[in-house]
């Protein structure tokens, strides 16, 4: 039983990390109805910038703030150069623009920094070693402190985002913008400012996700691939739902770990890598809008 | 009639082309405070283009726009909204996924200014403000008699009600000038009468200045103080309903040349 709990918890904790990446997608999708293909590149860019500043000898917090500023500048530039000329165009055009952006960012990031693998040491960056938490060990559970911290960070981000979206004027404006650009302008919402904010927040999420995942995997090109794990999460949770991204992440995380441990042996193991996508596919049959996604009903 | 007052909105010699098509050709018009003005004309006359120019969606190629005496020819739509111009759309542009309440609340967007924390955690200014705006929104909802649908997602409502919610959103902004693009389009007689009554009441009870585009001549003749007629981008007539009805140019534009 303890083993089952341990597997489940480590699955949930991994899931939270997926959620964090998924949140970046959801942010942009909610505000502009666009699937931001460049989210992975943003995660990589943020992590790379952060790690290089650290290597220059900056303090952790200073590096964090400087990288955050860099992400905001980047978001503003994206808004200015890529999105502004495309206001009120169909979502598919914006989607294509984000594909281009993703290739550019990957190249640009590795161009100004480098393409080596950089380690992010858990203890020096986050202030805690990546070892099982003592107080849980006493209860017989081996859960990494790092995983717990990552989960806490993700949880706080989620609460703040939900408050922001549901309760504030700007949040309400963001939801409005995703529904109708022209109507938003007509009630006085500055579309460009709103998009700037959205991309800046997506940049912040990318930075947090980049640091946490970078600690796990090392900061390198393949970091931009972690977003692939976020895809089944948002399919499950719904493209435009913040709670959906969280629940979806938890389901995917625990399902892949439990599946690997309890079902893996029957099919030769290694199912952890494709089980999430299988789940997402099955899920699409029954709820194409995801668990919490908004159903769009077309009247005929 | 309020002809003696200073105009609220003045458009001087407005022209705009899309490619080779001259959508508006040196059109001038004024909207006076507290009147209901109608812009009418056959399809393709440039009515919606004119509204989009007032609203800032399009920038005119030539001409000048004055609002409350100040030049505001080249402005972004969100700035125009901040000046106090609200509008509705021909094809309904509601926030479909949001509730009726939130939709109308969006009309209050420009009146809110509390910060993230006080709004997010509902304390201090954020709380006071939310309550104040909620009251204003509830007032609009009562006024438009849509209390029973306030929690429904706007996209799920029947067409006539969506139009009413859109009007509510515009009213919630408490604009100085209200632009309505075909407020009764696609409605049955009963719905038309309802909307016409709301427009009249907004003008008479609440003193709103309204400029509207409308195809239903019955509605236009009944509720408007003054009518501007466009045809192929040119202004061909202007005046009170009775004059317009008798104007041979207008009759020609609508019915073609009389042959007898």
List, for residues A10-21, the tens digit of each pLDDT value. Answer: 888 888 888 888
Q: What is the side-by-side strand order in the sheet with B234-239? A: B85-87, B177-181, B209-213, B36-40, B226-231, B234-239
pLDDT tens digits, A173-229: 888 887 888 888 888 888 878 888 888 888 999 999 888 888 888 888 888 888 888
Mean pLDDT of B16-34: 90
Average pLDDT, chain B: 87
Supply angle C-alpha B90, A87, A201, rounded to 5: 120
Burial class (CB in 10 A: 0-12, 13-18, 19+), A233: buried
Contact B131/A at CB under 8 A: no
User: What is the rounded CA–CA span in Å between residue A179 and residue A177?
Assistant: 5
Please report the residues numbered 15 through 54 in chain A whose beta carbons come closer than 8 angstroms to any beta carbon of chain B.
none
B76 touches chain A (CB under 8 A): yes
Is there a contact between A167 and B119 if contact means CB atoms under 8 Å apart?
yes
The interaxial angle of helices A39-55 and A227-237, nearest 10 deg, is: 140
Beta bridge partners of B85: B177
A2-286 placed in CATH 1.10.3470: yes
Is A180 an 8 Å CB contact of chain B? yes
State the distance between the two ends of chain B, measured CA to CA, in whole angstroms.
37
Report pLDDT for A228. Answer: 84
Reading the block at residue A137, the tokens are 């060990």
pTM summary value = 0.78
CA distance A61 to chain B (A): 23
Contact call for A180 and B87, based on CB within 8 A:
no
Contact A206, A2 (CB under 8 A): no
Of the candidates A173, A183, A294, which has its C-beta nearest B89's C-beta?
A183
Task: Look at residue B86 and tell me whether its pLDDT is greater than 90.
Answer: yes
- Shortest Cα distance, chain B CAs vs residue A242, angstroms: 15
Q: What sign results for the dihedral spanned by CA atoms B15, B18, B22, B24?
A: negative
Decide if A176 touches B, using CB distance below 8 A: yes
ipTM score of complex:
0.83
**Dihedral of alpha carbons A229, A232, A235, A238, sign:** negative
Predicted confidence at residue B4, as pLDDT, reads 61
DSSP A83: I
Looking at CA atoms only, how far is residue B107 from chain A in angstroms?
A: 6
Beta bridge partners of B38: B212, B227
Interface membership of B83 toward A (CB under 8 Å)? no
pLDDT > 90 fraction of chain B, expressed in percent and rounded: 47
pLDDT band at A261 (very low <50, low <70, confident <90, very high): confident
The 3-state secondary structure of chain B reads CCCCCCCCEEEEEEEEEECCEEEEEEEEEEECCCCEEEEECCCCCCHHHHHHHHHCCCCCCEEEEEECCEECCCCCHHHHHHHCEEECCCCCCCCCCCEHHHHHHHHCHHHCCCCHHHHHCCCHHHHHHHHHHHHHHHHHHHHCCCHHHCCCEHHHCCHHHHHHHHHHHHHHCCCCEEEEECCCCCCCHHHHHHHHHHHHHHHHCCCCEEEEECCCHHHHHHHCCEEEEEECCEEEEEECHHHHHHCHHHHHHHHCCCCC
According to DSSP, residue A222 is labeled: G
Of A160, A163, A189, the CB nearest to B78: A189
Domain range summary for chain B, segments of one domain joined by +: 1-84+175-260, 98-173
Nearest C-alpha of chain A: how many angstroms from B49? 14
Percentage with pLDDT > 70 across chain B: 92
In this structure, of A96-110, A283-297, B178-192, the range with the lowest mean pLDDT score is A283-297
**Residue B239 — φ and ψ, nearest 5°?**
160, 180
CATH 3.50.50.60 fits domain B1-84+175-260: no
The CB density around residue A286, as the number of other CB atoms within 10 Å, is 6
Residue identified by tokens 């632009």 is B179
pLDDT score of B197: 93
Q: How far apart are CA A247 and CA A238, in angstroms?
A: 10
pLDDT on residue B223: 92
- With CA atoms as reference, the chain B residue closest to A191 would be B78
Contact B78 A175 (CB under 8 A): no
Confidence (pLDDT) at B117: 63
User: Domain residues of chain A, as ranges?
Assistant: 2-286
Judged against a pLDDT cut of 90, whether residue A100 lies above it is answered with yes
Task: Please state the rounded mean pLDDT for residues B157-173.
Answer: 91
What number of CA atoms fall less than 13 Å from residue A77's CA on the CB side?
A: 10
Q: B113 exposed, middle or buried (CB, 10 Å; 0-12, 13-18, 19+)?
A: exposed
Beta bridge partners of B231: B234
Q: In this structure, what token pair is assigned to residue B120?
A: 């997010």
Taking 90 as the threshold, does the pLDDT of residue B38 lie above it?
A: yes
Q: Check if the beta carbon of residue B231 is closer than 8 Å to that of residue B237.
A: no
**Interface residue A186 vs chain B (CB under 8 A):** yes
Highest-confidence segment of A129-133, B114-118, B132-136, B175-179: B175-179
By the CB < 8 Å criterion, does B114 face chain A? yes
Q: How far apart are CA A150 and CA A128, in angstroms?
A: 11
């Amino acid at each position: 039983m303890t083993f089952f709990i341990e597997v489940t918890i480590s699955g949930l904790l991994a899931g939270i990390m997926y959620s964090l990446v998924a949140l970046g997608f959801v942010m942009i999708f909610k505000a502009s109805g666009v699937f931001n293909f460049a989210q992975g590149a943003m995660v990589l860019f943020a992590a790379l910038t952060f790690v290089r500043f650290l290597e220059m000898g900056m303090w952790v917090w200073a590096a964090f703030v400087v990288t955050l500023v860099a992400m905001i500048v980047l978001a503003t530039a994206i808004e200015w150069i890529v999105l502004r000329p495309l206001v009120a165009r169909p979502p598919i055009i914006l989607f294509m623009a984000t594909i281009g952006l993703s290739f550019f960012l990957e190249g640009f990031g590795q161009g100004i920094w480098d393409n080596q693998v950089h380690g992010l040491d858990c203890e020096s960056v986050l202030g805690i070693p990546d070892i099982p938490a003592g107080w849980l060990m006493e209860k017989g559970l081996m859960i990494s402190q790092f995983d717990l911290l990552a989960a806490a960070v993700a949880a706080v981000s989620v609460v703040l985002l939900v408050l922001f979206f549901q309760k504030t004027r700007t949040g309400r404006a963001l939801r409005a913008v995703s529904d109708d650009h022209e109507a938003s302008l007509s009630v006085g919402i500055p579309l460009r400012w709103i998009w700037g904010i959205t991309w800046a927040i997506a940049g912040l999420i990318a930075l947090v996700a980049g640091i946490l995942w970078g600690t796990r995997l090392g900061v390198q090109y393949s970091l931009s691939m972690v977003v692939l794990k976020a895809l089944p999460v948002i399919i499950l949770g719904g493209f435009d739902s913040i709670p959906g991204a969280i629940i979806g992440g938890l389901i995917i995380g625990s399902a892949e770990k439990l599946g690997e441990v309890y079902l893996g042996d029957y099919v030769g193991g290694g199912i952890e890598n494709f089980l999430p996508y299988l789940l997402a596919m099955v899920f699409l049959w029954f709820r194409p809008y995801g668990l919490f996604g908004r159903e769009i009903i077309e009247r005929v | 009639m309020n002809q003696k007052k200073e105009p609220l909105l003045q458009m001087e010699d407005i022209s705009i082309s899309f490619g080779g098509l001259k959508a508006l050709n040196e059109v001038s018009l004024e909207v006076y405070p507290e009147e209901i003005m109608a812009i009418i004309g056959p399809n393709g006359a440039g009515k919606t283009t004119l509204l989009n120019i007032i609203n800032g969606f399009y920038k005119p190629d030539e001409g000048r726009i004055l609002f409350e005496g100040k030049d505001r020819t080249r402005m972004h739509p969100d700035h125009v909204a901040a000046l106090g111009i609200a509008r509705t759309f021909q094809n309904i542009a509601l926030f479909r996924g949001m509730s009726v309440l939130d939709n109308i609340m969006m009309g209050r967007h420009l009146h809110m200014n509390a910060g993230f924390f006080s709004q997010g955690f509902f304390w201090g200014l954020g709380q006071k403000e939310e309550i104040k705006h909620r009251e204003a929104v509830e007032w609009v909802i009562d006024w438009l008699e849509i209390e029973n649908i306030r929690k429904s997602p706007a996209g799920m409502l029947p067409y006539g009600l969506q139009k009413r919610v859109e009007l509510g959103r515009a009213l919630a902004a408490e604009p100085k000038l209200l632009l309505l693009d075909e407020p009764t389009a696609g409605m049955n007689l009963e719905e038309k009468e309802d909307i016409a009554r709301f427009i009249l009441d907004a003008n008479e009870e609440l003193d709103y200045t309204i400029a509207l585009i409308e195809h239903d001549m019955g509605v236009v003749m009944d509720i408007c103080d003054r009518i501007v007629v466009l045809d192929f981008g040119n202004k061909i007539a202007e005046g009170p309903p009775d004059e317009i009805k008798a104007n041979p140019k207008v009759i020609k534009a609508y019915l073609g040349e009389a042959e007898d």
